[in-house]
Structure 1
Amino acid sequence: MQNYIEESHAVAGEPAGAEPGAARRALVLINPNSRRGAEAVDEVSRRLEAGGLALQVETFTSPEEVSSDIVRRAPEVDCVVVCGGDGSVNAAGPGLLETRLPFGIVPLGTGNDLARTLGIPEDLGAAIDIITAGKERTIDIGLVNGKPFFNVASLGISTDLAHTLTSDIKRRFGRLGYALAAMKVLTHARPFTATIMSKGEPMRVKTYQIAVGNGRYYGGGMAVAEHATIDDHHLDLYSLELSSVWKFALMLRAFRAGSHGAWEEVRTVRCTEFEIHTRKPRPVNCDGEICAHTPAKFQVVPKALRVFAP
């Protein structure tokens, strides 16, 4: 794994780019298994070309393909366009970090939380207009045990939710699928003990969930913290320390607003690095996909990537 922390502060070599006056060359990666992916392939290509981009279009069916395609095609393109949901963008993270190509998002998934954080609309035409306009924004990225995440990395309830919320449920029920899967997960949820290290100080907690956010939104519109942004160079952690997991239902409105830190059962911490240790290895969910296990080290990489955004 490359040292993204050290490299993030150096100005990466700009891509050679197209000749003056030529169209920008874009690698377009489409997840046909995303909620709207298969039906959108032709329209996405047509609109991007109409906006002046020269395209290399590839579909993918596994996360491993995404980053390898970006690295392989990097000398031939000036930017990357990821068409899919948060899982698709997460899969592109390692390749984007290695090549430092600017990227755009066409949100075709269920949650589309990174797009929401960046102010990218779900309307296909409006999202593509942002990419063709070419205005860039620099954002941070999070790492957990060296694996990148854009939105939130978490353990506890969310990992069970990631297993339960299948692609079929997402396609059939859309965002309602989150609620259906969550009800099933909460029925069987049990607390676990963990030690959170922040600024060298240990905190031993009994919790149902620990989440570490780089961006603002996750889980189909939940806010990790009230004032979190994806370019504030910090991570926001919360730990859900409830006497009964069903009290979480009373907190839903606060979680959507990011004001859950006002509840005494929710521990919140803001820092640039965290470590989480558990008695037995527990899986860590990154942007909806299991990507690591405890013990887990979380870091923020400031100004890591350039994205086309309002």
Structure 2
Amino acid sequence: MTLPATDRKRALLFTNPSSRSGSDRSAEAAVQQLESSGLALTRLSCAKAADISPQVRRHAHMVDLVVIGGGDGTVNAALRGLMETGLPLGILPLGTANDLARTLRIPADPSAAAAVIIGGQMRRIDVGQVNDQFFINVASMGLSVELARRMTGNRKRHLGKLSYPVAALQTLFSAQPFTADVCTQAGTTQLESVQMAVGNGVYYGGGMSVFDRAAIDDQCLDFYSIAPKRFWQWPLLLSAFRRGRNRDLVGMRAFCSSGPLEIRTNLPLAVNTDGEITTTTPARFKLLPRALSVFAPAG
């Protein structure tokens, strides 16, 4: 789908002032580029993530699309409003990781990303859901929750993308194994793990790959579990995750699920969705196929 060039479109623009690039000159230049193209922008700041989806619903009858200037957490905060209104999403990747933009091959440069929105090409993508929380990239528990707790705003601003590997190394020292029942249509399997994840997209955690053949519109959720490891084994594992070649490693359990999936633990475990801790186990997952329209490069 493309937007007719002759129509003057109205866009609701959210910018996150606390994002790593949310207030720099390149971000403002990209916003001006959108306005120069003919988009009529209604600008809103999003200091509180909880306010974003209500604002999307409130303005739904006045706009034709929503533009998010921020990172994956800001996009996640808008998901419920986008799903309920059916408005398409444009992304200016101004966060630290920008994993959704990487998955969709949206350029990291704000001006080039604005050009993608102006170009009008859209792609329908899947959305995951765990309990009552939507997610785009991944939902996980274990190491990733501790990592999210360490990824403070100050750390992101000072270290940028380097903040992820630094926090990951610190997290490995405090890894706590847990036991979980993983339930699918094929049956129930009990696993001992330090990290479980259910991926919808390709990338998460600043460029880690769930699975090298994953796609965000393949109508499939990709599950993996990492068994407890000795410290010297982690560099090999992290290298494999950078390349998405983790399914053949010793101690890995991984599969693709198009149907519902549930993870149960004796005590509630926190669940991280797209970088934010939002719910707990028992975690009931399902896939919403091609439920969201996003402006993305052709092909």
Change (3 A) 1:243 1:178: closer
SS in 2 for 1:262: coil
Give the Cα separation in 1 of the matches to 2:156 and 2:87: 30
SS in 1 for 2:69: strand
Give the Cα separation in 2 of the matches to 1:83 and 1:207: 36
Give the Cα separation in 2 of the matches to 1:289 and 1:130: 27
Deviation per CA, 1:182-206: give whole Å up to 9, x if none. Answer: 1111111111111101114111011
Question: What is the aligned partner in structure 2 of residue 208 from structure 1?
Answer: 194
Q: Is 2:200–2:221's contact at 8 Å kept on the other side of the alignment?
A: yes
SS in 2 for 1:190: coil
Question: What is the aligned partner in structure 1 of residue 148 from structure 2?
Answer: 162
1:247 offset after TM fit, Å?
1.8
Q: Is 1:97–1:305's contact at 8 Å kept on the other side of the alignment?
A: yes
Question: What is the aligned partner in structure 1 of residue 280 from structure 2?
Answer: 293
What are the equivalent positions in structure 2 for 1:1-310 lying under 5 Å apart? 21-40=6-25, 42-272=28-258, 273-310=260-297
Unaligned runs of 5+ in 2: none
Aligned length: 293
SS in 2 for 1:163: helix
1:246 offset after TM fit, Å?
4.6
Give the Cα separation in 1 of the matches to 2:250 and 2:169: 23
Give the Cα separation in 2 of the matches to 1:305 and 1:33: 26
1:248 offset after TM fit, Å?
2.2
Question: What is the aligned partner in structure 2 of residue 4 from structure 1?
Answer: none
1:21 offset after TM fit, Å?
4.3
Give the Cα separation in 2 of the matches to 1:127 and 1:106: 6
1:42 offset after TM fit, Å?
3.0
Give the TM-score, by structure 2 length: 0.95
Give the Cα separation in 2 of the matches to 1:246 and 1:216: 26
Give the TM-score, by structure 1 length: 0.92
SS in 1 for 2:23: helix
1:77 offset after TM fit, Å?
0.2
Deviation per CA, 1:58-107: give whole Å up to 9, x if none. Answer: 11111111111110000000000001000000001100000010111000
Give the Cα separation in 1 of the matches to 2:14 and 2:111: 17
Give the Cα separation in 2 of the matches to 1:245 and 1:74: 50
Give the Cα separation in 2 of the matches to 1:143 and 1:204: 22
SS in 2 for 1:247: helix
SS in 2 for 1:175: helix
User: Which letter does structure 2 place at the counterpart of 1:117?
Assistant: T
Give the Cα separation in 1 of the matches to 2:31 and 2:229: 51
For structure 1, which segment, 37-46 or 170-179, has the greater mean C-alpha deviation from structure 2 after superposition?
37-46
Supply the RMSD in Å over aligned alpha carbons. 1.5
Change (3 A) 1:210 1:169: same
Give the Cα separation in 2 of the matches to 1:190 and 1:21: 57
Unaligned runs of 5+ in 1: 1-16
Give the Cα separation in 2 of the matches to 1:103 and 1:25: 12
For structure 1, which segment, 44-53 or 203-212, has the greater mean C-alpha deviation from structure 2 after superposition?
44-53
Give the Cα separation in 2 of the matches to 1:230 and 1:136: 14
User: Which letter does structure 2 place at the counterpart of 1:260?
Assistant: N
Q: Is 1:276–1:297's contact at 8 Å kept on the other side of the alignment?
A: yes
Q: Is 2:89–2:295's contact at 8 Å kept on the other side of the alignment?
A: yes
User: Which letter does structure 2 place at the counterpart of 1:169?
Assistant: R
SS in 1 for 2:18: coil
Change (3 A) 1:300 1:245: farther
Q: Is 2:31–2:114's contact at 8 Å kept on the other side of the alignment?
A: no
1:44 offset after TM fit, Å?
3.0
